Amino acid sequence: MLRPWLIAGQLWTCGVIRAEVLRGVRLPRIKSDLNDLFDAMAEVPTDAGLWRATADLAWELDRRGTILPLTDLIIAACALQVGAPVVTLDGYFSLVPGLQTRRDLP
């Protein structure tokens, strides 16, 4: 199901997503398979520029009274950096200006 998007380089991830997903996996085999999937995805580098963008986004949202978890802010900054939508059921992401969200893959 994900193969066409992987081949086209249209699936992005970042270290925070990998850590959040893998921490909840119980079976080593599934963890290994998911690591392989993450390794096949394009990864947004979490460099100093991304951390600045995350801090700016947090500051902007905080001033509006919208306090989001740091992990969600990092994921949003990553998606904004590469112009990718976030596939999520988490309503927090809809509060981020300019961020596209999806509930599922097309």
* CA distances to 9, 24, 36, 50, 105 from 89, in Å: 23, 17, 24, 24, 12
pTM: 0.90
Tell me: the pLDDT tens digits for 11-47? 999 999 999 999 999 999 999 999 999 999 999 999 9
Q: What is the pLDDT of residue 66?
A: 96
DSSP letters spanning 52-75: HHHHHHHHHHHHTT----HHHHHH
By the 10 Å C-beta count (0-12 exposed, 13-18 middle, 19+ buried), 18 is classed as middle
Tell me: the pLDDT tens digits for 87-106? 999 988 999 999 999 998 76
Residue 84: how many other CB atoms lie within 10 Å? 18
CATH architecture for segment(s) 3-102: 3-Layer(aba) Sandwich (3.40)
Domain residue spans in the chain? 3-102
